[in-house]
Every structure is written in C-alpha cells, then in structure tokens.
Amino acid sequence: MSSPGQTYVVSIFIESFITDLGISRSLVSTLYTLGTLVGSFVLPIVGYQIDRHGARLIVVLITALFGFACVYMGYVQNAFMLGLGFIALRMLGQGSLGLVCTNIINQWWVRRRGMVMGISGMAGSLISLGGFPNLVNWLIPTYGWRSTYILLGIILTFVIAPVAFIFFRNHPEDYGLQPDGGESSTFRFRKRKQVTTRLTEVNWTLGEAMRTSVFWILVASLSAISMLSTGLFFHMVSIFTDNGLTRNLAAAVFVPIAVTTAVVNWGSGLLVDRVPVRILLATGLFFQALSLLMACSLSDITLALVFGVVLGISSGLIRILGSVIWAMYFGRHHLGSITGFTSMVTIIGSALGPMPLGIGRDLLGSYNLALMISAAIPLLLGILGLFIADPVRLAGQLQKHEQETDE
C-alpha cells in the first residue's frame, strides 16, 4: 500500500527525473532528502491522532491523500514541483501509512504479535518489494513515467482506500474482545535455559520511554538501518551500472531481496518472542554492514544475487523488529505517540541516506569510500545492541519506579 512512496520504487523513477527535468543526480538526492525530512515532522501528530481517533479513519484519509500525491507526481515540470512531490510521497507513503498499519496489528495481537507481524511482513515483502519495482520498471518504458504515477494514484484512491474503510478496525476492546482472540493481554518471553516468564503488559508514556537508554539505542539502530538501506535502494541502479552490471539486473535483484526479506520476516516473527531482542537486532545490523561492503564489488550476477540475499536478511530482521519492538517494550496504550516520534527519527535517518552516497559519487567518481565508511555505523551499533536490557527487565524497572513513587 505504501510502495509508491518507498525508496525501492522511487529509485526506478530517478533516471526519468534526471533526463526529463534536466536536473543533476545530486539535486534529485538533495530534494529527496529534504522531502523525507520535511515529511517526517508530521508523524508525531499522526501518531497522536491515531491514539485519539483510532487507526481506521486515519488510514482511509491518508491513503486517499497519498493517491492524490501520486497523481500530482505525474504532472511535475521542474525541481521545485519535484521537491513538493517528494514531501507528499514520503510524508504519506513511507511515514504515515507504515505507522498506522503496524499500529493496528500491534493493537490486535500481543502474545501472537511476532507471528502475525511476520506473516504480514512476508506477504508485504513479496508483493511490494518483490513485485512493485519490477512492475514499475515495466510500466515506465511501456506507458511513460508520468502515466505510471497517475495510474498508481488512481488505484490508491479508488481501490485501496475503500478496502481499508471496509476491513480496518481500531481496538479489540471496542468490540468487547481482547487481543489474541480473547486471550489475556500478556507478553511471553523466553529467557535462558528455556525458562518462560509471563508478564502483564506494562504501558509507558513517551516521556517515560525517552528516559531509558534502551529507547535511544533502539532508535539509533533502527534509524541507522533506515538511513543506510535507503541510500542503497536509492542509488541501486547507479551502483550496479558503475560495477558494469545492467539496469534490468538492478531491478531484478529486488526479487531475491524480497523473497529473503519475506522468509526472514516470517521466521523472525516466530523467533521474536523466544530469542532475545538484542541478538536479533545485532544480527540485522551486522548483515547490513556486510551488504554495504558487498556493494563495493558487485562484479557479476552471482555476487549481485548474494548481495540481494544478504540485504534481504538484514531487511527482514529489522522490519519485524521495527514493527513489534515498541509495543513489546513500552505497551499499547501510548503506542501511537511513541511510534509517531520514533518513526519521525528513523525517517529523518532515511532522509540522510541518499545524500552521502550521491555526494561521494559526484566528488570521487565512485561509491566505494562512502559505502565502506557507512558500513562502520551498523557494525558499532550491533556491538552496542548486544548489551541492551530485555523487555522483562525493563518493565520491571518501571514497575519498581512506580511502586517507589507511590510509597
């Protein structure tokens, strides 16, 4: 649903923007960065409105507006109009739609949250990451990039928005239900030696969450992944052609990325309640570092496919963690406000992704130095992430603090 605003789809349009609008790659990268930054600032407001009015109304409104934004993209004539279009695409597609959809799943499932999010992520990866780039890559030479954007906008406004209105619901409690099909709203975490601990859901406010070191380590890690993945996706075609590979192969490599992301999404969804979060987080960060290093030397099709698998492993792990981790650690009651803030920060991170690689390419004639420097970021964060507290211990800290305050 959010694919037309995601980097892996926008990247397919980049060469058309440069050619038809007569602007440089650096300017397109800068406009995309600014559009992502400006668009991210509304996310705390969107998150707060989800807490107030529920996700159903918000998702229908955002989807319809997103469709109008896509239609607008079909009529851009210059850099200024393109910048406005990027703001709308990134604000509505990448930011707001992702926020509201993950919020709904987190509201309806607690104990089975990881499994359901894994299934959702697997289906979404296969359809959006695997299908959309190749669909757009076919539509652009067939009908033109402008008509392609208009077609996507019509589908969003007149098909997806009505479907969302029919099927989306806000909270299970609104219908006399409990999360997980009527089971008690509890988390289940598996500790060492397969000892299972049950914990009644503990709900943090945004302010309380921000006073913990765990919150900021998670924000930094997810923001770094968002930044670096966006940079890779945005410059994917150019990175491949610089390495002597074709544009079509660059589009085709999204298939192994999507399939691997989908499989890892499903698998990590089953593991997220059983394996410590810090292990999954560090693994995703380490694979992200490896993908950046591999991008320096994509000399043949085999390496390109392996690169896609490595990037897919990182994307799959981080997608599932980014979807469930905030509810796991900080509860559901203030989830909109918390994820609104964290989404803003991670999207600001993604906004910074294309710029360093684009500038490095223009100044040095190669992406390699920028890619190698970038690889150090997830490597260091992965090491740091190995030492964060698990949700059980963190929730215990809040309960202890509240008891001391009451006394």
User: Looking at the predicted structure, is the pLDDT value of residue 190 above 80?
Assistant: no
Could you tell me the CA-to-CA distances from 228 to 35, 235, 387, 393 in Å, in that order? 17, 11, 22, 30
β-strand partners of 196: 190
Q: What is the pLDDT of residue 193?
A: 37
* Residue 190 covered by a domain: no
Q: What is the pLDDT of residue 201?
A: 65
Instruction: State the total domains in the chain.
Output: 1
pLDDT digits (tens, 9 = 90+) for 147-170: 999 999 999 999 989 998 888 887
pLDDT digits (tens, 9 = 90+) for 355-367: 888 888 888 888 9
User: Looking at the predicted structure, is the pLDDT value of residue 305 above 90?
Assistant: yes
User: Looking at the predicted structure, is the pLDDT value of residue 185 above 70?
Assistant: no
User: Looking at the predicted structure, is the pLDDT value of residue 72 above 80?
Assistant: yes
Average pLDDT, the chain: 84
Record the pTM: 0.72
Rounded distance, CA 375 to CA 360, Å?
A: 14
User: Looking at the predicted structure, is the pLDDT value of residue 405 above 80?
Assistant: no
* pLDDT, greater one: 189 or 351: 351
* Residue 336 covered by a domain: yes
Banded model confidence at residue 81, pLDDT cuts 50, 70, 90:
very high
| H or E, element range at 397 | helix 391-406
User: Looking at the predicted structure, is the pLDDT value of residue 67 above 60?
Assistant: yes
Q: What is the pLDDT of residue 118?
A: 74
Give the lowest-confidence range in 21-30, 107-116, 331-340, 382-391: 107-116
User: Looking at the predicted structure, is the pLDDT value of residue 199 above 60?
Assistant: no
Banded model confidence at residue 381, pLDDT cuts 50, 70, 90:
very high
pLDDT digits (tens, 9 = 90+) for 395-404: 555 555 555 5
Q: What is the pLDDT of residue 195?
A: 34
Q: What is the pLDDT of residue 272?
A: 82
pLDDT digits (tens, 9 = 90+) for 267-294: 887 888 788 888 999 999 999 999 999 9
User: Looking at the predicted structure, is the pLDDT value of residue 393 above 90?
Assistant: no
β-strand partners of 186: 200
* Residue 174 covered by a domain: no
Quick one: average pLDDT of 224-248?
88
CATH number where 345 lies: 1.20.1250.20
* Residue 192 covered by a domain: no
* Residue 234 covered by a domain: yes
User: Looking at the predicted structure, is the pLDDT value of residue 323 above 90?
Assistant: no
User: Looking at the predicted structure, is the pLDDT value of residue 139 above 70?
Assistant: yes
Q: What is the pLDDT of residue 133?
A: 80
Could you tell me the CA-to-CA distances from 389 to 274, 329, 386, 397 in Å, in that order? 15, 10, 9, 10
Find all residues with CB under 8 Å of 291, minimum gap 6, and list them.
232, 307, 310, 311, 314
Say what percent of the chain tops pLDDT 70. 89
Rounded distance, CA 232 to CA 312, Å?
A: 12
Q: What is the pLDDT of residue 152?
A: 94
* pLDDT, greater one: 128 or 244: 244
Q: What is the pLDDT of residue 144?
A: 94
Give the lowest-confidence range in 98-107, 228-237, 334-343: 98-107
* Residue 135 covered by a domain: yes
* Residue 179 covered by a domain: no
Banded model confidence at residue 52, pLDDT cuts 50, 70, 90:
confident
User: Looking at the predicted structure, is the pLDDT value of residue 197 above 50?
Assistant: no
Dmax over CA atoms of the chain, in Å, equals 71
Q: What is the pLDDT of residue 187?
A: 42
* Residue 177 covered by a domain: no
Domain around 91:
3-169+198-406
* pLDDT, greater one: 401 or 373: 373
